Structure 1
Amino acid sequence: MEQQAVTPAYVIGVDYGTDSVRALLVDARTGTEVAQAVHHYARWKTLQYCNPAHNQFRQHPLDYIEGLEAVVRRVAQTVPAAQIVGLAVDTTGSTPGPVNADGVALGLLPEFANNPNALFVLWKDHTALAEAAEINHKARTWGGEDFTKFEGGIYSSEWFWAKILHVLREDEAVAAAAHSWMEHCDWITLLLTGGGLASFKRSRCAAGHKAMWHESWNGLPSEQFLTHLDPKLAGLRNRLFTETYTADEVAGHLSEEWASRLGLTTNTVVAVGSFDAHAGAVAGEIEAYSMVKVMGTSTCDIVVAPTAEVGSHLVAGICGQVDGSVIPGMLGLEAGQSAFGDLLAWFRQILEWPLHNVLSQSKVLTPELQAALRDEMSDVLLVQLSEAAAAVDPAESHVLALDWVNGRRTPDANQALKGALMNLTMGTNAPQIFRALVEAICYGSKQIVERFEAEGIPIKQVIGIGGVAKKSKFVMQTLADVLDRPIKIAVSEQAPALGAAIYAAVAAGIQPDVLAAQKAMGSGFAETYTPNPARVADYAARYAQYQAFGRFVESATVSEQESGAKDRHAELAEASLPQQ
C-alpha cells in the first residue's frame, strides 16, 4: 500500500532582542532550521530617544515594524507561503508602551513621533526608581493584599506598573492620549492579527511576571490599590485586561494587510506573544528543576517546576513565579542579572574612547583609514581581552568587581545599586580588570542559584543559551568553575526564535503540546563545560570576598529608590496641604 505524503509545514519564530530582531523559519515537525535573518534597529543604533546617564532607554515602534518586515519577508521567500502555517513573537520585557483606543502605538502618531515618553520603555530603562519604591512601600502598608508577593516580594523599576506610573507623572499629553498600555510582545501580536483591544489575548508570561497579574485576585491589582498608589491610575485597570493566555494558544490569524506585507497568507496562525527568555528556555529543552540561563546583554534565569510540588510556597527575591508562563501546566520561575554582556560591553566602550574621540584628530591617517581602524579594533578588542584575561594568574591579580552597573535584578531587586572595583594598584592592567568583570557576572549568577536552593527549589542542571553562551568560551568556563556545575550549551544560534517557533507549531496544531514539540523540534546540545577542580576552591574564596564587597557597597550606597520615594511622598504631602 502506497504511503501518503505528508504536506510540509513550517513556522516562523520572531525574536525581538535589545539591539535587533531575528526571524527563524523552522520545519514544524522536525525543528530543522531552514532560514534565518537579522535586522538591527536603525534609530536604536544611534541611541535616539535615550539618555544613558539618566538610565533612559526608549525604542521607537518604527524600529520594530521595519525590522519585522525585513526579516520575515527574507525567510518567508524560502518556501511556498501556503506551507508557513504559524508564526509567534517573543520580545524583551518588561517593555511597555502607550496605545490609543484602536491599539495604535502613540509613537506612530505625528504629534508623538519624537516624544520619548510615547515610545516603548525598554526593559533596561530605570527612570522609574522612585515609582518602584512607592509600589513596594504601599503594597506592604496600604492594609490590603500585597500584590508584589508573586514577584519575589520586591517590585522593580524595570517592570510594567513602575514605568507606566513614571510616564503618566512626567508627561500630561501622553497620559491624556494613552487609552491603554501594552507589552511589546502583545503589541506586535495585535499588529499582526488586527482586531480590537477588548478581545485581544494578552500574554500570561508578560502579565504574571511584570504586571502583578494573578488569578487568585482576579487578574491585575485591584482598582483600590492602584488609585491608592496614584489617582492618575484611576480607570486604567478596566482598559487593560483580566484574562491572560499561554504562548501555545492561538491569538488569531495574520490580517490581510500583514499577510501581504510579509509575503504570507491569512491562513497563518499567530500564537500569543511571549518574552524572549521564556521562549529561549523552551528551545533550551528546559525540564523540571533545570535552570536555563539566557545570556546576552543581561541574563534571565528560567526554572520550571511542577506546580503541585511548589504549592503555595513563595520564592523570595526573584522576578516572579507564574503558572504556565513557560510551559503550560508547570510553574515558571524567573530571576536574572540586569547586566551580563552589557558589563563587558561597557568596559569595551571605556577602552574605545580614544578611537572615537582622539583618532579623528589624527593628521597622519585619512578619515577612511581612521574608520577602518576603528572597525578593526572594535571587532577584535573583546576577543583579545578574553585571551589575555584567561592567561592571568589569579594569584597575581586581586582585582575584585561588582556587576551592578545597571542595578541588581536578583536576588532582591535594587536597581539603584552601582558597580564597583577594588584592589586596584599601579600594576593593574586591562586584562586583569576584564577578568574581574567576568568573574563578577559569574558570582552574580552563583547568588541566584544559591537563592533558589535556599528557598527549596533545587537546581538539577544548568543550560546556557544566547550570544555569550555561544561566543565566549572564557566566560562559560569561568561560570562552570564558579558554579562548580557542568553547563550544557544549546546548539541553536537563535534559541529564543526557535522557542517562539515551537509555540507556533503547537498553536498551529502541528505539535500536540509544548513538551512534545520540545522533543521533536529541540536542537540538542553542542558542548558541555565542566568545572576545573584546580579553580573551584580559588573561586569559592573570591566569591566570599565578592559577597563581603557587595554588602559593604550596598550599605554605603544612598538608595536612589528610597530618596526618590521620600521626595515623591513629600510632594504628595505638600500637594495635600490646604492653601494659605
Structure 2
Amino acid sequence: MSTDSYVIGVDYGTDSVRSVIVNAQNGKEVASSVFYYPRWKAGLYCNTVINQSRQHPLDYLEGLEHTIKACVVQAGESVAKAIKGISVDTTGSTPVAVDKSGTPLALLPEFAENPNAMFVLWKDHTGVKEAAEINEHAAKFETNYLQYVGGIYSSEWFWAKLLRTLRVDEKVRASCYSWVEHCDWIPFVLTGGTAIEEMKRSVCAAGHKALWADAFSGLPPEEFFVSLDPVLSGFTSRLFTQTFPADVAAGTLSPEWAAKLGLGTEVVIGVGAFDAHMGAVGGQIEPYYLSKVMGTSTCDMLVAPIEEVQDTLVKGICGQVPGSVIPGMMGMEAGQSAFGDVYAWFRKVLLWPLQNLLSQSQVIDQNTMNNLVEELSAKIIPELSKQAAEIPLSEENEYALDWLNGRRTPDANQLLKGAVSGLNLGSDAPQIFRALVEATCFGARKIVDRFNEQGVPVKGLIGLGGVARKSPFIMQMMADVMNMSIRIHKSEQTCAIGAAMFAATAAGLYPKVEEAMAAMGQGFDAEYVPDATRAKIYAKRYQKYSQLGTFIQSQTNQLQTPASSDLPETGTQAYETQRN
C-alpha cells in the first residue's frame, strides 16, 4: 500500500458493541467507540431462573450505527474517505428467527416484545432438553453427524435453540422462515440484503454450531431433522448449502448504510465470524498455541495445518472446522461457559446487603447510596485479588468447581452446577474467591489436557481479553496451574482488531490474513512463567478438583435420570404440552 488505507472492525460482545478504525498498513488504532445495549442493560427479555438470555436486534442496529459514526467523526473526513472495508465478529451461537427477507421477527410490530422472536444469546440454556434429544437421536444413525463438534451437541448451539423456539411459540413457529446467526445477519444488513437466499453464511458459525461439514456435503440430511421432530421439516432447504471463510467479501456497503455512516458505497463488507475466532487472529495465533479469549466466558482457539492433523478428531470440544479461524488451516474451538462470570457472581453475592439494605438506611441519602454501591462494586474484585494472592498455598485450602453456568468443554453438559468444598468457620471472602479463581484455572487445564490426550499437542498459551490484561493474580495462577508460560497480547481489543485484519483481507489490501496479521499485529507485552514449587502443589489440588467434579456429575446424573413418564416428548406433542 503506497498510501494509508483504513479499515473498520466491529466487535459485538455480550454487553456491548465496539467499533475501531485501524490503519491497515501498521494496525494503529485511530478511533474507537463503545455502545452498551440499553435493553440488555435494563435486563429486558431475560430470565436467569430459567437460563433465558435474549437480545433485541435494535440493540445491535443502534450500536452499529452509533459506534461507526462516532469513529468516523473522531478520525476525520480524510480517514473516512480512505476506509476500504468493514468486518464484524459476534458472540455465538446467537441465532434469531427471520422472515423471507432476512428480517428478524422482533423487528416486526407484532413480535416487537416477544423474546422468542429475538436473538437467543450464546449463554441461553433454555434448550437443554432439546440438546439432550439431539445427542440421543444422533446415536441412531450410521453416520456420526456429531463427530466434528466433539461428539456432544450443546444447548448453547444453533439447532437446540431453533427446536426449542419452534416448540414453545406457535406464532414464531408460523412466521419463522429461516434461522440466522448474528455474525451472518450484520454483514447482510450492511450490504442491503433483501432476501434470505442472498445471505453469505460463515463457515465458522455453520461448522462449529450448525453441524455443517464438507464430509456431509453440507448439513445433515432432512431425514435427520424431521425424524428428530417434524417441526424442523423444510429448514435445511431454507438455510444454506455453501459457507464462506471470513477473508471473503459479502458485498459492499449499501447506499442506505453509506448515508447513515458517512462512508462510500465502495467499502467492502467481509463475511462475519465469531468473536473468539477473529480475536485469535487479532491476537496473532500460532499453530498449536491455545489462544484463550478470556471474558465472561472463555473461548479457546487452536489452529493446526490440515495435513498434520488429518483425520484426528478431538472428543468433547466445540468443533473442528477447516478455515474457521485462518483459511487453509484447521480451526479447533473449546472453552468454559463461565470464567469472568464466576467472579461477577461472587461480587454480586457480596454486594447483596449494600444493594438491598442501604436503601432502608436512615443515615445516607439515595444519591450517596448509589455512589457508594458503584464505588465498592468497582473495588471488590481488585481487593479480593490482592488479599487472595497473600494467602499461603496449601493442599488443604478451600477448593471449588467452576460450573456455575454449566460446562462447555471438555464434554458439554449445561446441567452441571458449581460447588465449593473444604469450607470451615475460618473461610472468608478472599479464601473463597481464591478457590473460585483456582477452579476457573483448573477448568482451563482440563481443556489443555483433552487436546494433549487426543493427539493435538498444546505447545503454548496466548492470553487475550480483559481478564488476561487486567488481572496479574489470575494469570500467574493460570501459568502455575498449567505449568506452562502464558503470553499476554498487547492489544486490549483483539476481537475488533482481528475483525479489522479480516476487513483488510476481504478488501484486497492483503492476499492472505496471515499477512494482515504480520503487518497489523501489535505483539505481546507480558508473559507469566510458572513457579515450579507452586505448580507441584497445584497438581495435587487439581486431583481434588477432578474428584469433586466426578462427585458433582454423578449426583447431577442421579437427579436428572427421568422416570418413564418424564421422558422427552417429540414433535407437536411436546409443543402442545408446553403450551398447555
Residue 165 of structure 2 aligns to a residue whose secondary structure is helix
Residue 196 of structure 2 aligns to a residue whose secondary structure is coil
Q: CA deviation digits over 1:419-447, x for unaligned, max 9?
A: 01111111100000000000000000000
Q: How far is the alpha carbon of 1:570 from its aligned partner?
A: 4.7
Say whether the 8 Å CA contact 1:30–1:520 is kept in structure 2: yes
1-structure distance, mates of 2:273, 2:518:
20
Out of 192, 209, 218, the residue aligned to residue 194 of structure 1 is 192
**Counterpart position of 1:286:** 285
Q: CA deviation digits over 1:315-371, x for unaligned, max 9?
A: 111000000000000000000000000000000000011121111001110111111
**Counterpart position of 1:348:** 347
Q: How far is the alpha carbon of 1:97 from its aligned partner?
A: 0.5
Q: CA deviation digits over 1:393-424, x for unaligned, max 9?
A: 12396211000000000000001000011111
Q: How far is the alpha carbon of 1:512 from its aligned partner?
A: 1.4
2-structure distance, mates of 1:36, 1:559:
50
1:476 is aligned with what amino acid? M
2-structure distance, mates of 1:371, 1:338:
31
Residue 568 of structure 2 aligns to a residue whose secondary structure is helix
**Counterpart position of 1:171:** 169
Say whether the 8 Å CA contact 2:204–2:324 is kept in structure 1: yes
2-structure distance, mates of 1:563, 1:151:
26
**Counterpart position of 1:296:** 295
Q: How far is the alpha carbon of 1:534 from its aligned partner?
A: 2.5
1:168 is aligned with what amino acid? L
1-structure distance, mates of 2:396, 2:173:
52
Say whether the 8 Å CA contact 2:167–2:574 is kept in structure 1: no
Residue 51 of structure 2 is aligned to residue 55 of structure 1: yes
2-structure distance, mates of 1:521, 1:560:
52
Out of 152, 158, 161, the residue aligned to residue 159 of structure 2 is 161
Residue 294 of structure 1 aligns to a residue whose secondary structure is strand
2:370 is aligned with what amino acid? A
Say whether the 8 Å CA contact 1:132–1:561 is kept in structure 2: no
Say whether the 8 Å CA contact 2:228–2:570 is kept in structure 1: no
**Counterpart position of 1:114:** 113
Q: How far is the alpha carbon of 1:144 from its aligned partner?
A: 3.6
Residue 548 of structure 2 is aligned to residue 552 of structure 1: no
Say whether the 8 Å CA contact 2:468–2:475 is kept in structure 1: yes
1:250 is aligned with what amino acid? A
Residue 178 of structure 2 is aligned to residue 180 of structure 1: yes
Distance change (3 Å), C-alpha of 1:555 and 1:65: same
2-structure distance, mates of 1:559, 1:150:
29
Q: How far is the alpha carbon of 1:137 from its aligned partner?
A: 0.4
Residue 15 of structure 1 aligns to a residue whose secondary structure is strand
**Aligned runs of 1:44-443 on 2, under 5 Å?**
44-77=40-73, 78-79=75-76, 80=78, 81-141=80-140, 143-195=141-193, 196-395=195-394, 398-443=397-442
Q: Which ranges of structure 2 fall in alignment gaps of 5 or more residues?
A: 576-580
Say whether the 8 Å CA contact 2:191–2:250 is kept in structure 1: yes
Residue 358 of structure 1 aligns to a residue whose secondary structure is helix
When normalised by structure 2's length, the TM-score is 0.96
2-structure distance, mates of 1:564, 1:132:
19
Q: How far is the alpha carbon of 1:567 from its aligned partner?
A: 3.3
2-structure distance, mates of 1:513, 1:138:
40
2-structure distance, mates of 1:266, 1:144:
49
Residue 16 of structure 2 is aligned to residue 20 of structure 1: yes
> Aligned pair count?
571
Say whether the 8 Å CA contact 2:231–2:572 is kept in structure 1: no
**Counterpart position of 1:532:** 531
Residue 451 of structure 2 aligns to a residue whose secondary structure is helix
Residue 224 of structure 2 aligns to a residue whose secondary structure is helix
1-structure distance, mates of 2:287, 2:457:
10
Say whether the 8 Å CA contact 1:295–1:467 is kept in structure 2: yes
Residue 292 of structure 1 aligns to a residue whose secondary structure is strand
Residue 247 of structure 1 aligns to a residue whose secondary structure is coil
Q: How far is the alpha carbon of 1:223 from its aligned partner?
A: 0.3
Residue 369 of structure 2 aligns to a residue whose secondary structure is helix
Distance change (3 Å), C-alpha of 1:244 and 1:564: farther
Distance change (3 Å), C-alpha of 1:235 and 1:570: closer
Say whether the 8 Å CA contact 1:416–1:560 is kept in structure 2: no
Q: CA deviation digits over 1:30-70, x for unaligned, max 9?
A: 11111111111101112110001111100010111111111
**Counterpart position of 1:494:** 493
Q: How far is the alpha carbon of 1:564 from its aligned partner?
A: 10
**Counterpart position of 1:518:** 517
Q: CA deviation digits over 1:90-138, x for unaligned, max 9?
A: 0000000011111111111111111110000000000000000000000
Say whether the 8 Å CA contact 1:94–1:206 is kept in structure 2: yes
Distance change (3 Å), C-alpha of 1:234 and 1:562: farther
Residue 557 of structure 1 aligns to a residue whose secondary structure is helix
Q: CA deviation digits over 1:260-282, x for unaligned, max 9?
A: 11121111100000100000100
Say whether the 8 Å CA contact 1:20–1:38 is kept in structure 2: yes
2-structure distance, mates of 1:514, 1:458:
24
Q: How far is the alpha carbon of 1:186 from its aligned partner?
A: 0.6
2-structure distance, mates of 1:526, 1:494:
14
1-structure distance, mates of 2:562, 2:184:
34
Say whether the 8 Å CA contact 1:32–1:521 is kept in structure 2: yes
Say whether the 8 Å CA contact 1:439–1:478 is kept in structure 2: yes
2-structure distance, mates of 1:564, 1:72:
54
Residue 444 of structure 2 is aligned to residue 445 of structure 1: yes
2-structure distance, mates of 1:502, 1:286:
13
1-structure distance, mates of 2:444, 2:395:
24
Distance change (3 Å), C-alpha of 1:22 and 1:479: same
Q: How far is the alpha carbon of 1:569 from its aligned partner?
A: 3.1
Q: CA deviation digits over 1:147-193, x for unaligned, max 9?
A: 11100000000000000000000001001111111100111111111
1-structure distance, mates of 2:525, 2:29:
15
1-structure distance, mates of 2:564, 2:337:
21
Say whether the 8 Å CA contact 1:489–1:526 is kept in structure 2: yes
Distance change (3 Å), C-alpha of 1:574 and 1:214: closer
1:408 is aligned with what amino acid? R
2-structure distance, mates of 1:319, 1:267:
36
Q: How far is the alpha carbon of 1:558 from its aligned partner?
A: 3.5
Residue 501 of structure 1 aligns to a residue whose secondary structure is helix
1-structure distance, mates of 2:518, 2:85:
18
Out of 10, 18, 27, the residue aligned to residue 6 of structure 2 is 10
Residue 335 of structure 1 aligns to a residue whose secondary structure is strand
2-structure distance, mates of 1:384, 1:573:
53
Say whether the 8 Å CA contact 2:229–2:571 is kept in structure 1: no
Give the % identical residues: 55
Q: How far is the alpha carbon of 1:549 from its aligned partner?
A: 0.6
Distance change (3 Å), C-alpha of 1:564 and 1:131: farther
Q: Which ranges of structure 1 fall in alignment gaps of 5 or more residues?
A: none
Q: CA deviation digits over 1:73-96, x for unaligned, max 9?
A: 111221432201000000000000
Distance change (3 Å), C-alpha of 1:515 and 1:570: closer
2-structure distance, mates of 1:560, 1:471:
39
Say whether the 8 Å CA contact 2:416–2:553 is kept in structure 1: yes
Distance change (3 Å), C-alpha of 1:424 and 1:111: same
**Counterpart position of 1:30:** 26
2-structure distance, mates of 1:540, 1:566:
44
RMSD: 1.7
2-structure distance, mates of 1:572, 1:177:
18
Residue 410 of structure 1 aligns to a residue whose secondary structure is coil
When normalised by structure 1's length, the TM-score is 0.96
